[in-house]
Amino acid sequence: MKKLVVWLIVLGLLGGGGAYAWQMYKARAKPDSSVYRTAPVRKADIISSISATGTVVPEDVVDVGAQVNGQIASFGNGKDGKPVDYRSEVDAGMVLANIDDALFKADVSTAEAQLAQAKAQVLVAEANRAQSQAKLDQAERDWARAQKLGQSKAISQADFDAAKSAYEQGTATISLSDASIAQSKASVAIAEASLLRARRNLAYCTITAPVSGVVIDRRVEIGQTVVASLNAPSLFLLAKDLTKMKVLVQVNEADIGHVIPGHPVTFTVDAFPGQTFKGEVRKVRLNATMTQNVVTYTAEIATDNPDKKLLPYLTANVRFIVEEARDALAVPNAALRWSPSVEPAANTGPGGASSASSPPNASAPAAQTGDTGRPRNGQRRQGPREGEAQSENAAPRRERTAERKGTVWVLDENGLRSVEVKIGISDGLVTAVENPDLKEGELVVVGEAVAGSASGATTNPFAPASPFGGRGGGRGGR
């Protein structure tokens, strides 16, 4: 009886084990799609771009300063008839401010008096010369008569010598008078220059607009004293035309080769979320800067501002358009990174693709995880990542990728099959691929489902792009 019970127990265990083995075999024969995270293959417009941060500035800014020392006495009036202030519109030649000119008017009066005195000295010098000339004429006549009388011994030697000395002294006096006249005329020229300087300084007390434009900054107050030294103090900043703006962008040296004058650019500003502005690259400045061993170049972006919505010195989040692919077959970047850690048994499918009859039993590669974030100011993204930038193991998304190959894993009713594709451009979220065996709508594996999470959950990489090039949805494969 005991043997019978033992045999029954043994048979029961063998039967249960066989049933369990059969269930496991059936499960391995047809993979459970709920263990995978998938995304459909879709057509999309893909734009490869470079992201950077810049500053919106007016096309032309004029710094209006003071050339004389003094106290601000008053402000002029703008086109609206009100005292000049922030955002006042002015025309060229309009008065912006007045400096107290009392001392400068006194300087002008002094210079005018000195000029009159110098001119009077010229008249005195000329009169002295005329007197000296008359004396010289008399001395010349006396000397001529003395020479005639001296030949006949009708004049004493003393008188002869006196006549000769008088003539020579008269000649020297004329030369001295001519020099005095020249000196007086030079004094007149100096006085005229002093007067001109005094009048110019008086004119500098009136600060006028050198160009027509808008006051974007007023840096003085009435009663404030300005001191002009080697650098003229800045009083106002004028923008010539706020309908024409430019964006100054710091671009990393690794990306500057893709920034070409004439290429289109889009950018956003935090002041107007959801609105995208357009521009084009005007030029790249050759003077590079280095900050913490990072070399950057300044790119100038020209943009129109007809409604004057863009204000000076807004921070702009800029995207340089490098390459575009319209209506391209696209897969999430995670699909190109994911592969089973254990290669499934493959059956040859159409077009050389392979199909799998057993699912992998390992998690996605470690390269598919990592932190995400916006690029630092003036630096490029490190490449596309599911919902973010490219992983460090992937090629840069701005690289020419026409000859690159990759593999995606398609999940259908027959299980997994690998499809080799030619990789095109990427926008950091999805990548253009080419293979006749890969059809729109097919599901590609982007990762494995987390234990306890809802099955079939997947990220939608084709959600509308954010202003910074990102998209809605969570991260891709784990």
Q: What is the pLDDT of residue 28?
A: 54
Q: What is the pLDDT of residue 364?
A: 36
Q: What is the mean pLDDT of residues 17-35?
A: 59
Question: What token pair was written down for 169?
Answer: 């002294």
Superfamily of chain region 103-195: Helix hairpin bin (1.10.287.470)
Who has greater pLDDT, 464 or 290?
Answer: 290
How many residues comprise the chain?
Answer: 478
- Residue 148, pLDDT above cutoff 60: yes
Q: What is the pLDDT of residue 323?
A: 85
* 350-376 confidence digits (pLDDT tens): 444 444 434 443 333 333 333 333 333
- Cα 107 from chain centroid? 47
**Cβ burial, residue 263 (10 Å; 0-12/13-18/19+):** middle
* 214-226 confidence digits (pLDDT tens): 999 999 999 999 9
Q: What is the pLDDT of residue 25?
A: 54
Q: What is the pLDDT of residue 392?
A: 34
- Long-range Cβ contact pairs of 136-143 (< 8 A, separation 24 or more): 136/167, 136/170, 136/171, 136/173, 136/174, 137/170, 138/170, 139/163, 139/166, 139/167, 139/169, 139/170, 140/167, 140/170, 142/166, 142/167, 143/167
* 461-475 confidence digits (pLDDT tens): 444 443 333 343 433
Who has greater pLDDT, 231 or 335?
Answer: 335
Who has greater pLDDT, 179 or 472?
Answer: 179
66: phi then psi, degrees, rounded to nearest 5: -110, 140
The one-letter code for the residue type at 56 is V
- Residue 65, pLDDT above cutoff 70: yes
* Ramachandran category for residue 408: left, alpha or beta (phi over 0 → left; psi -120 to 50 → alpha): beta
Q: Identify which of 320, 423, 332, 425 has the alpha carbon closest to the alpha carbon of residue 380.
A: 320
- Could you give the CA distance from residue 57 to residue 240 in angstroms, rounded to a whole number? 12
Separation of first and last alpha carbons in the chain:
58
Who has greater pLDDT, 157 or 5?
Answer: 157
Q: Are 408 and 401 in contact (CB under 8 A)?
A: no
Percent of the chain with pLDDT over 70: 71
User: How much is the pTM?
Assistant: 0.59
Of 3.10.450.50, 2.40.50.100, 3.40.50.10320, 2.60.40.10, which CATH number belongs to 65-100+206-239?
2.40.50.100
Q: Give the E-state strand segments of 107-195 in sequence order.
A: none
Q: Give the E-state strand segments of 271-314 in sequence order.
A: 277-284, 289-291, 294-304
Domain ranges across the chain:
52-57+241-321, 65-100+206-239, 103-195
Who has greater pLDDT, 434 or 137?
Answer: 434
The one-letter code for the residue type at 15 is G
- Residue 192, pLDDT above cutoff 60: yes
What number of other Cβ atoms are within 10 A of residue 415's Cβ?
A: 19
Q: Are 136 and 173 in contact (CB under 8 A)?
A: yes
Q: What is the mean pLDDT of residues 318-327?
A: 88
Q: What is the mean pLDDT of residues 430-438?
A: 89
Q: What is the pLDDT of residue 144?
A: 73
Sheet containing strand 213-218, edge to edge, reads 61-65, 234-239, 213-218, 89-90
- The residues that bridge with 358 in the sheet, in sequence order, are none
Q: What is the pLDDT of residue 4?
A: 65
- Could you give the CA distance from residue 219 to residue 203 in angstroms, rounded to a whole number? 21
Average pLDDT of the chain to the nearest whole number = 78
Q: Quick one: CA torsion of 394, 395, 396, 401, rounded to 10 degrees? A: -130
Radius of gyration of the chain (CA): 47
Q: Which CATH class is domain 52-57+241-321?
A: mainly beta
Cα atoms in the Cβ-side hemisphere of radius 13 Å centred on 318 = 34
Q: What is the mean pLDDT of residues 27-50?
A: 76
Q: What is the pLDDT of residue 231?
A: 72
238 Cβ contact list (under 8 Å, min separation 6): 61, 62, 64, 90, 209, 210, 211, 213, 214, 215, 216
Question: Between β-strands 89-90 and 289-291, what pairing exists: parallel, antiparallel or unpaired?
Answer: unpaired
Q: What is the mean pLDDT of residues 106-110?
A: 95
Q: Are 384 and 431 in contact (CB under 8 A)?
A: yes
Q: Which residue has the tokens 């729109």?
A: 440
